[in-house]
């Protein structure tokens, strides 16, 4: 998954795409609060029934799409 700083830049777009793809997610589920990212990720994983790896892959894919659409393609991955 991209590091948090990179995700924050496109979070609104990623959030919109998650809500389009998974109607069960709410704004509260996708609220990205400083220091509470792990809670948010756990909540989303539980609702979607995904593993951490599946969730990370999904977010990376959505981040790439959002970056490409906004013209900010960033291929650097933080591990």
Question: What's the pLDDT at 4?
Answer: 62
Q: What is the pTM of this model?
A: 0.69
Binning pLDDT at 50, 70 and 90, where does residue 36 land?
confident
Domains and CATH numbers, the chain: 4-70 (1.10.1470)
Largest Cα span, the chain? 32
Question: What's the pLDDT at 46?
Answer: 93
**Both tokens assigned to 32:** 């990205």
Question: What's the pLDDT at 22?
Answer: 92
Cα separation, 6 vs 76, whole angstroms: 9
Does residue 42 come out as left (phi exceeding 0), alpha (psi in the -120 to 50 range) or beta?
A: alpha
- What are the angstrom distances between the C-alpha of 24 and each of 20, 38, 52, 63? 9, 19, 18, 20
Give the model confidence (pLDDT) of 5-20 as tens digits: 666 778 888 889 999 9
In the chain, % of residues over pLDDT 90? 22
């Amino acid at each position: 998954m991209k590091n948090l700083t990179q995700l924050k830049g496109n979070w609104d777009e990623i959030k919109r795409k998650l809500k389009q793809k998974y109607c069960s997610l709410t704004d509260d589920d996708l609220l990205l609060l400083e220091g509470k990212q792990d809670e948010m990720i756990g909540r989303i994983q539980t609702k979607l029934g995904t593993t951490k790896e599946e969730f990370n892959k999904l977010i990376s894919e959505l981040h790439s799409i959002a970056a490409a659409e906004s013209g900010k393609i960033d291929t650097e991955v933080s591990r």
